[in-house]
Amino acid sequence: MTGLKILLEGDGALFHVRDRVVEGEMTTILLLDGGMGSGRPSIGVVIELPDGKVVLGQTSLSLLLIAAELFKAKHGDPRLDDATKGTPS
């Protein structure tokens, strides 16, 4: 599994691959106990493409949590905003 690039300024970040991008719908996030070669947990993300194909992306739970913490540090926790408005996130 390759490393994960975490971009806090993602607007325009895919410019260099824009002609190869196929948008799909992220339908599932799953925890894979022991999914890493080391036996540690990994996270899978399932994306369904318009042509019916499915893409599975995978990273370590550790890297996903680091990314989430960085995003939250930048934008706060939207769950707290939603809780004060009485709507689920």
**Per residue in 21-61, pLDDT tens?**
899 999 999 999 999 999 999 999 999 999 999 999 999 99
Q: How far apart are CA 29 and CA 56, in angstroms?
A: 10
Is residue 31, in this structure, part of any structural domain at all?
Answer: yes
Query: In this predicted model, which residue has the larger pLDDT, 4 or 38?
Result: 38
Domains identified in the chain, total number: 1
Q: Specify the pLDDT at position 6.
A: 87
Q: What is the dihedral of CA 14, 24, 39, 31, to 10 degrees?
A: 130
Q: What percent of the chain has pLDDT over 90?
A: 60
Would you say residue 1 has pLDDT above 70? Answer: no
Q: Specify the pLDDT at position 73.
A: 92
Is residue 3, in this structure, part of any structural domain at all?
Answer: no
Q: Can you list the positions of beta strands (E) in 5-87?
A: 25-32, 42-48, 54-60
- Indicate whether this model's pTM tops 0.85: no
Is residue 64, in this structure, part of any structural domain at all?
Answer: yes
Is residue 45, in this structure, part of any structural domain at all?
Answer: yes
Domain with 41, as residue range(s), is 24-85
Q: Are strands 25-32 and 54-60 parallel, antiparallel or unpaired?
A: unpaired
